[in-house]
């Protein structure tokens, strides 16, 4: 009453310290309060008294606070109904609902984090396997192109030498025939090997390999 009296003088109750019963009669105090509830100003001050009392009690509990939220009537109705079924107060039920919602959210967040980590690990493994497979394909195609270039070089040389299996230096006519045959073979393979250029092979394209072999035979071969 001392705290309330300092904030709301209307509620001070005179106490006779020399009386055998210095404390006021509780029933009389409640009756006096109820008798004045018809006064709007008194009701407003009574509401302020309750708010001041809650604030003071809240300061005495460092782990609890008093706050005010405006909820729809339907939500308040459901909260009251749920509190009655559980045999608990509205504040208690509301606290349980908030805690349950937080635990569900926290559990879902942890599960999502775990799933994300698993997905990233699988994605990394797939990327490594893909890179390994791509490396194998690239090396295989590189070896096949090398063999194809070697085969085309020998075949064109043989045809230019009129079926004489000899690696002797070609004459001018033979060089021209070799160059013409090589260009024809390369043109025929240009479309099937078009996508091979995307692999960025170490040794180069088929045209580059054939150009090196033609230059080794002292033949100008602008195939690229």
Q: What is the mean pLDDT of each run of 10 residues along the chain (224 residues)?
A: 52 52 66 82 85 75 72 89 89 89 92 91 89 78 79 75 53 73 77 68 72 76 55
Radius of gyration of the chain (CA): 48
In this predicted structure, what is the pLDDT of residue 28?
A: 78
Burial of 179 (0-12, 13-18, 19+ CB in 10 A): buried
Q: Which residues of 67-90 are buried (b: 16+ CB within 10 A; e: fewer)?
A: eeeeeeeeeeeebeeebeeeeeee
DSSP 199: G
Distant-in-sequence, close-in-space partners of 120: CB < 8 Å, separation ≥ 6? none
Domain layout of the chain by residue ranges: 1-68, 128-216
Distant-in-sequence, close-in-space partners of 206: CB < 8 Å, separation ≥ 6? 145, 148, 149, 186, 189, 193, 196
State the greatest distance between any 2 C-alpha atoms of the chain, in Å, as a whole number: 143
In this predicted structure, what is the pLDDT of residue 162?
A: 57
Residues 192 and 155 sit within 8 Å (Cβ to Cβ) = no
Distance between CA 140 and CA 129 in Å, rounded? 16
């Amino acid at each position: 009453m001392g705290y309330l009296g300092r904030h709301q003088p209307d509620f001070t109750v005179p106490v006779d310290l020399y009386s055998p019963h210095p404390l006021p009669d509780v029933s009389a105090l409640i009756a006096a309060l109820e008798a004045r509830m018809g006064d709007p100003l008194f009701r407003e001050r009574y509401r302020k008294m309750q708010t001041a009392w809650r604030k003071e009690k809240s300061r005495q509990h460092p782990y609890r606070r008093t706050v005010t939220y405006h909820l729809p009537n339907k939500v308040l109705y459901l909260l009251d109904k749920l509190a009655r079924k559980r045999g608990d107060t509205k504040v208690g039920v509301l606290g349980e609902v908030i805690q349950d919602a937080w635990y569900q959210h926290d559990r879902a967040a942890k599960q999502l984090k775990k799933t994300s980590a698993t997905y990233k690990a699988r994605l990394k493994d797939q990327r490594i396997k893909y890179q390994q497979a791509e490396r194998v394909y690239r090396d295989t195609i590189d070896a096949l192109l090398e063999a194809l270039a070697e085969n085309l070089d020998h075949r064109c040389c043989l045809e230019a030498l009129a079926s004489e299996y000899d690696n002797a230096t070609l004459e001018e006519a033979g060089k021209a025939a070799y160059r013409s045959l090589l260009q024809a073979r390369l043109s025929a393979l240009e479309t099937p090997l078009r996508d091979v250029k995307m692999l960025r092979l170490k040794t180069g394209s088929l045209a580059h390999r054939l150009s090196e072999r033609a230059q080794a035979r002292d033949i100008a071969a602008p195939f690229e």
